Amino acid sequence: MSKIACIGEAMIELSMGEDSPQVGVAGDTLNTAIYLKRSAPELSVDYITCLGDDPFSQRIMAFIDAQDLGTGAIQTLTDASPGLYAITTTPDGERSFTYWRSNSAARQTFADGDFEFLNSYDAIYLSGISLAILSHTIRLALLKWLSGTPIKLIYDSNYRARLWESVENARLVTTAMWERADFALPSIDDEMELFEQSAKEVVARFSAHAGQGALKRGAEGPISIGSDVMQSYASAPNVIDTTAAGDSFNGGYLSGVLTGKSQAEALLRGHDLAARVVQHRGAIIPR
């Protein structure tokens, strides 16, 4: 697979430092797209979203283009604007977010109900955030389309309760996506919260998954999905900001499996990249 589409929401990011906030661009699937492209430059990686015609949208577009990602499928909407979020971190690196995204242009992605252009890709990458910001009608239409196409699906549930109108819809959509996903990239905490299960129950559920992937557990290291891999993982020596830890893991892991590396090497790639990212502020670290 050499042509990948990452779909979601690109936002303006304010990273709250000691003196003044740093302004950047980020978003869960965008973060993964950037780290995937950096880790496997031979792959063609496009980003798909909707932006507005305002200066902040132009800044986002320029940033995405500068990351060597394809921008041809990004739609520009008149009189629309992107979302914005601020990161606040505690001394041990844990972060909290404040969002302004209720009218984000990205909420209009696939508003015309046309998914056929996605068939030009070998694989598409979606997250729970990608789906949560869409109307439930569009989500169901996308699920129906996915059921009728052989395109490879990569999914990370990335559950954010406040984005969903109900936990019932979140569970319905997420369950359907796991059933369809060729590559599953769940985080154990998200799955425990969404399905009200213990860690043991989540591990058991994904041990039966038909596809390939990784169950992320932060500093503990991932559990392999689809094949048995027994190896150790080194923790980051100095955690400053855990923003994009899971997103960067996804990018590193996918750079391995999509370029023919072994499952063990892909898991190490993902974990080692995430361990580097959490030693920097903000979602996107310097090249």
Active site residues: 247
Residues 217-230, buried b or exposed e (16+ Cβ, 10 A)? bbeebbbbbbeebe
Q: Round to whole Å and give the CA distance between 105 and 81.
A: 6
38 vs 20: CA distance, rounded Å = 29
Per the listing, tokens 């898991």 go with 267
**Residue 182 CA: distances (Å) to CA of 8, 14, 152, 170:** 19, 34, 6, 20
CB atoms within 10 A of CB 194: 21
Map tokens 């996308």 to a residue.
Answer: 142
Q: Is 79 exposed, middle or buried (0-12, 13-18, 19+ CB in 10 A)?
A: exposed
Residue among 159, 225, 170 at smallest CA distance from 192: 159
Helices (H), 92-235: 128-132, 136-147, 167-180, 188-195, 199-207
Nearest to 255 by CA among 67, 47, 37, 26: 37
d(Cα 86, Cα 157) in Å, to the nearest integer? 22
